[in-house]
């Protein structure tokens, strides 16, 4: 009996060894797979020395091939410029704001992007894999097991970014490199799912990167061919920021702290200084310039000014709030020869002529004349003949305050 048992044990040893090997092969943890994945790409130490990555090459969309440029940093900042068919698209993230300029949507100005678009930029901003430093970034990873894909064996892992939908990644069990991913994507700002394949892995300074990326979603087919990789390129941080409105940039010199001389027209028709005060203008989020000034002419007067550029009507807007009378007035204007000129005259397409008390109210005009970044002048005028002529009423001369440097 003992002989039979020994014989059975001996016969089973090869099978037990095979079973043990297969169990070890199937029981890898997500951490083990990811560690091998990172090593296959060059290892943590090599990637830890990378602060920025610059990519150039060719991008195919809508059957057209154009060049593309991408810059990304270890901190997640991102900028890319590429063509979708005939239109050049720009997109970026500066650590605070995700943005894009996409002419396909009918806008030639930058806009903030939606949640689905943010998820796409997060994916594009990865140096080489979302699994790099996944734990310290608060990402969740789950191992789904093995799966045969296109005749090859794959480790299948899902990765979830905080507040985002899950991504599915397929890593080759032999190379530990990504073969494909199925992830949330967008098409003209609408969310959908994309299948992306990674190929043509090449070594650059000890780092392994895919140089051919092919993607499909709906009827779209995109191909990225990377032709040049620069490790730790020189760059300027402003490239990641959402571009400012060029019209608001023209009046940016108005921002800051100012010493102001306040003058008014006296009964003799001459300018008379009535007060010397301080004032400040600042740029607010959303491309808005805001400032206020307080002075005394018999009574205390506080007036607030808000300036923005209206993209719908292609002109500037000025909102004036008078605290004394608690009134708010809206003016429209344009920038001509260094002066920002506003008035509240009726628009040309308005056929109605004011009547009654409204007809007796004077129209007002504000003129901001910018000479340089150290001074500007604001004039207030009025008209009793619907803008045929304007009378001077008030003038404020702004001179930049001398600020002592911090020691």
The angle formed by the CA atoms of residues 318, 319 and 324, to the nearest 5 degrees, is 140
| DSSP strand pairing (178-187 vs 167-172) | antiparallel
> Which of 19-28, 254-263, 298-307, 332-341 is least confident?
19-28
For the cut 60, the answer to whether the pLDDT of residue 157 exceeds it is yes
Cα separation, 267 vs 191, in Å, equals 66
Give the H or E element holding residue 185.
strand 178-187
The angle formed by the CA atoms of residues 202, 222 and 33, to the nearest 5 degrees, is 45
Cα separation, 324 vs 56, in Å, equals 59
Report residue 351's pLDDT band, with 50, 70 and 90 as the boundaries.
Answer: low
Cα separation, 292 vs 331, in Å, equals 16
First to last CA, the chain: 95
**Would you say 276 and 261 are in contact if contact means Cβ atoms under 8 Å apart?**
yes
For the cut 60, the answer to whether the pLDDT of residue 9 exceeds it is no
pLDDT at residue 23, as a whole number: 38
| DSSP strand pairing (220-231 vs 52-61) | antiparallel
Cα separation, 346 vs 331, in Å, equals 10
Sorted by sequence, the CB contacts under 8 Å of residue 64 that are 6+ apart come out as 83, 85, 86
Extents of the domains making up the chain: 17-240, 246-400
For the cut 80, the answer to whether the pLDDT of residue 359 exceeds it is no
Helix, strand or coil, per DSSP, at residue 8: helix
**pLDDT tens for each residue of 162-207:** 999 999 999 999 999 999 999 999 999 999 999 999 999 999 999 9
Cα separation, 233 vs 250, in Å, equals 32
pTM score: 0.81
Q: What does residue 297 show for φ and ψ, rounded to 5 degrees? A: -135, 85
**pLDDT tens for each residue of 367-402:** 999 988 899 999 999 999 999 999 999 999 999 997
**Would you say 200 and 208 are in contact if contact means Cβ atoms under 8 Å apart?**
no
pLDDT at residue 402, as a whole number: 77
Fold match between domain 17-240 and domain 246-400: no
| Superfamily, domain 246-400 | Calycin beta-barrel core domain (2.40.128.20)
Sorted by sequence, the CB contacts under 8 Å of residue 237 that are 6+ apart come out as 77, 94
Cα separation, 214 vs 305, in Å, equals 52
Q: Which CATH class is domain 17-240?
A: mainly beta
Q: 237-276 burial, b if ≥16 CB within 10 A, otherwise e?
A: eeebbbeeeebbeebebbebebebbbbbeeeeeeeeebbe
The DSSP output letter for 34 is H
> Which of 7-21, 62-76, 250-264, 343-357 is least confident?
7-21
């Amino acid at each position: 009996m003992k002989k039979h048992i020994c014989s059975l044990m001996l016969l089973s040893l090869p099978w037990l060894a095979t079973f043990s090997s297969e169990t070890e092969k199937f029981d890898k943890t997500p951490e083990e797979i990811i560690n091998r994945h990172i090593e296959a790409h060059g290892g943590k130490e090599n990637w830890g020395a990378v602060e920025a990555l610059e990519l150039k090459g060719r991008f195919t969309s809508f059957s057209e091939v154009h060049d593309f440029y991408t810059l990304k940093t270890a901190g997640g900042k991102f900028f890319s410029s590429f063509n979708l068919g005939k239109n050049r698209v720009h997109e970026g993230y500066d650590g605070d704001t995700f943005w894009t300029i996409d002419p396909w949507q009918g806008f030639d100005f930058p806009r903030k992007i939606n949640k689905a678009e943010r998820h796409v930029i997060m994916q594009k901003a990865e140096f080489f894999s979302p699994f790099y430093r996944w734990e310290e970034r608060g990402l969740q990873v789950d191992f789904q097991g093995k799966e045969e894909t296109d005749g090859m064996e794959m480790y299948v892992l899902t990765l979830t970014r905080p507040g985002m939908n899950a991504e599915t990644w397929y890593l080759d069990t032999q190379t530990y490199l990504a073969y494909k991913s199925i992830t949330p994507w967008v098409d003209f700002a609408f969310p959908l799912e994309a299948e992306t394949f990674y190929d043509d892995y090449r070594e650059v300074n000890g780092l392994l990167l895919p140089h051919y990326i092919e993607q499909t979603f709906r009827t779209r087919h995109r191909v990225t061919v990377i032709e040049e990789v620069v490790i730790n390129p020189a760059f300027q941080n402003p490239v990641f920021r959402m571009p400012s409105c060029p019209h608001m940039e023209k009046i940016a010199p108005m921002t800051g702290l100012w010493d102001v001389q306040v003058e008014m027209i006296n009964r003799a028709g001459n300018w008379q200084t009535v007060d010397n005060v301080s004032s400040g203008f600042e740029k607010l989020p959303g491309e808005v310039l805001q400032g206020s000034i307080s002075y005394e002419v018999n009574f205390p007067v506080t007036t607030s000014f808000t300036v923005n550029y209206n993209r719908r009507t292609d002109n500037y807007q000025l909102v004036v709030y008078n605290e004394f009378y608690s009134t708010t007035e809206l003016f429209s204007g344009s920038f001509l020869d260094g002066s920002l000129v506003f008035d509240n005259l009726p628009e040309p397409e308005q056929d109605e002529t004011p009547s009654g008390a409204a007809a007796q109210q004077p129209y007002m005009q504000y003129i901001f004349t910018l000479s340089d970044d150290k001074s500007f002048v604001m004039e207030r005028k009025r008209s009793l003949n619907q803008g045929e002529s304007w009378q001077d009423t008030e003038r404020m001369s702004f001179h930049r305050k001398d600020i002592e440097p911090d020691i």
